[in-house]
A and B are shown apart, each in its own frame.
Chain A
Amino acid sequence: MTGHPGEPYTGKAGTRPANGPDGMPLVLEHHVLTSLLGAWALAACAPAEAEAVEEHLGDCGDCADEALRLREAVGLLQRPESLDLDPGLRTRVLDSCLERRPPRVPVPEWAVAYDAETARLDALLQDFGDAEWRAPVRLRWYEADEASSRRTTVAGVIAHLLTVDGLVAVALGLDDPLGDAAPARPTPSDRTETCWRTARLPPDRSVRAPWREQTHALVRTVSFTGDGTGRTTVPYGDFELPLHDAMLDRAFECWVHAEDIAEAVDYPYDPPSGRHLHRMVDLAARMLPAVLEHRRLHGLASPVERRLVAAGEPGRSLRLEIEGSGGGEWLIPLDSPAAKGSAEHEVAHVALDGAEFCRLAAGHVPPREAAAGQEGDRAAIRDVLFAAASLSRM
């Protein structure tokens, strides 16, 4: 048996200089020779050992049989298939299954984006080694109309998602991932800082499992509670959101931070599917009127120019046109959250791409540079763009 192709093997130790440690041919016991068979088949032993094994194979039928078998097995070793599954495959597979057999307990429509986005992020993390988990990430957001940022790592971002998703978990009666360490005022940033500060060690890859378990538990729980939780709200410290919107908000944050992570490790990462992106834009568009009012009260937005609009009445509006997959049009009432958006009272028009709008709302794009197309009342446009950026937080 020729162990190493290309090296003629004579089978006679004497015709080739033996190269045991002491210059003498290696004499190995049978059990040692047998134990070397795997390493020999892989060409992973010293030349003298390989020679001793090959010498032995000529005399020992059992070992020769095994050697042949192991050599053939080496031929079956293949690099693992690329694990980069098409991220869109999950939705296609699940949709096709649910069509064939409608679920008795469906995932509520408003939780599907969260389910999809957490699955996409988890797939991105799949092949990360320690270097990727430690890669630096800069979280960016807008605070008091100024760009803010905070340094952490990929693992730190997942810890951040785990602790803020924990707000929803607590609202649903699940365990708080922060346990007793939870701060009194549960703002996302307070909770995150607490998590980072109280951890004995900096977050590492071990944070992935509890994050993923919690995301699965949230989807499972809202599937069972379903519409019964229509009035459940999730407190964010400074404000609260209905459960439906909180799940959309968490889907949005998951995508935004997945992009941060992908950028940090130089991987490509696509925006969410059109139908999920549409819901995220819709959430932001629905939050804008209240944010505008809040900013007006604090002198950050232009004062109301005309008389206040009665609740439910049409008011001055900005047309937000979102282009691309998941796009649409929203009429944002400018002067009161109680007013109705109205095409007849449109004073300004802003057009931009859906993913770009979300990056603005995530504080990743400066408001002044955001809109591709703008026309109409400059002040109204400025107010809405700054209000959108102010939706962002750590």
Chain B
Amino acid sequence: MPERDVPPRWDRTMQQRLARGEAAALGELYDRFASLVHGLAHRVVGDEHAADGITRDVFAHVWEHPDSYDPGQGPLRSWLAALTTRLAVRRLRTTETAALARGGPGTPEDLERTVRHASVAARADYIVQSMPAPLRAALELAYFERRDYRRTAMHLGVTDDEARRRLRLGLQLLATAHDSGAPGAPPGIGGAA
């Protein structure tokens, strides 16, 4: 993914350009992050149309309030992911609450469970996308392509030891999706706000 390994200077410049009201900067921001934003939103709400709306709200928020992002606090990418998850979870909670009020199936506890699962799933997605590429590649080979760790090692051109290390470390990172406010998780991305 091209948006990783971007120097923080890019984030700072982008924030300044947005603050100056440069429409071209908004286009570049969209080009770099729309698939991340839309993908996370879709993972939470599970609906294409709603994910489109959340994508619109996320970019509108950044465009209208460029100063709400502080480059000193971390990468723009994490901040956008956190904002997306927050807005998506809020939307999910609103629609589920409305369905419940209309006499839909389920209990308030079910609703909480649904919301919690959705935000953990979004957090997990973000962790997988943001982890170092060698870890992600090892997980993909072992899980999606069902290779054992020795064939994973061979495919990656690393030792068996290294393949085992990558699989374990990758899963350890992924497991933090269950801890809201876990270290390494972007601020705010955890809370089912």
Contacts and interface: CB of A to CB of B under 8 A. Distances in A.
B14 to A, nearest CB: 11
Contacts of B165: 35, 38
Interface of B: 2, 20-28, 30-31, 34-35, 38-39, 42-43, 48, 52, 55-56, 59-60, 63-64, 120-121, 124-125, 128-129, 139, 142-144, 146-150, 152, 161, 163-172, 174-175, 177-178
A38 B42 contact: no
A100 B63 contact: yes
B20 A223 contact: no
4 nearest A-B residue pairs (beta carbon)? A38-B168, A104-B21, A38-B167, A76-B124
A89 B21 contact: no
Interface string A38-63: 11011011100000000000000000
Interface stretch (A78-86, A165-173, A235-243, A313-321): A78-86
Interface stretch (A91-99, A257-265, A332-340, A372-380): A91-99
A122 B34 CA distance: 12
Interface string A97-109: 1101111111100
Nearest to A41: B171
B153 to A, nearest CB: 10
19 contacts: A35-B161, A36-B164, A39-B148, A42-B167, A44-B152, A69-B175, A73-B171, A74-B171, A76-B121, A77-B143, A78-B125, A86-B48, A89-B34, A93-B30, A93-B34, A93-B59, A96-B60, A97-B59, A220-B25
Given A69-B172, A103-B26, A105-B24, 17 more contacts: A37-B168, A39-B164, A42-B139, A42-B143, A44-B143, A73-B171, A73-B175, A78-B125, A90-B31, A90-B34, A94-B27, A94-B59, A105-B23, A107-B24, A107-B27, A119-B31, A212-B31
Contacts of B175: 69-70, 72-73
A273 interface: no
Contacts of B38: 81, 85, 89
Contacts of A79: 144
A78 B139 CA distance: 11
Given A92-B56, A100-B63, A42 B142 contact: yes
Nearest to B22: A105
B161 A80 contact: no
A221 to B, nearest CB: 9
B136 to A, nearest CB: 10
Interface residues of A, number: 51
A38 B35 contact: no
A168 to B, nearest CB: 15
A72 B174 CA distance: 9
A101 B26 CA distance: 12
Contact of A81 (B39, B59, B147): B39
Contacts of A115: 24, 27
A219 interface: yes
Contacts of A126: 35
Nearest to A212: B31
A209 interface: yes
A78 B121 CA distance: 9
Interface in A210-251: 212, 216, 219-220, 223
Contacts of B146: 44
A305 to B, nearest CB: 49
B158 to A, nearest CB: 13
A107 B175 CA distance: 44
A100 B42 contact: no
A104 B22 CA distance: 6
B186 to A, nearest CB: 17
A84 to B, nearest CB: 9
A81 B171 contact: no
B30 A103 contact: no
B42 A81 contact: yes
Given A70-B175, A209-B2, A100 B167 contact: no
A108 to B, nearest CB: 10
A70 B171 CA distance: 6
Contacts of B178: 72-73
A87 to B, nearest CB: 11
Contact of A44 (B22, B31, B55, B167): B167
A138 B170 CA distance: 43
B140 to A, nearest CB: 9
Nearest to B178: A72
Given A89-B55, A98-B23, A219-B24, A81 B168 contact: no
Contacts of B128: 77, 80
Nearest to A84: B35
A93 B34 CA distance: 10
Contacts of B34: 85, 89-90, 93
A220 to B, nearest CB: 4
Nearest to A66: B172
Q: Which of B25, B55, B147, B164 has the most CB of A within 10 A?
A: B164
Contacts of B28: 216, 220
Given A44-B142, A94-B26, A39 B55 contact: no
A115 B22 CA distance: 14
Contacts of A94: 23, 26-27, 30, 59
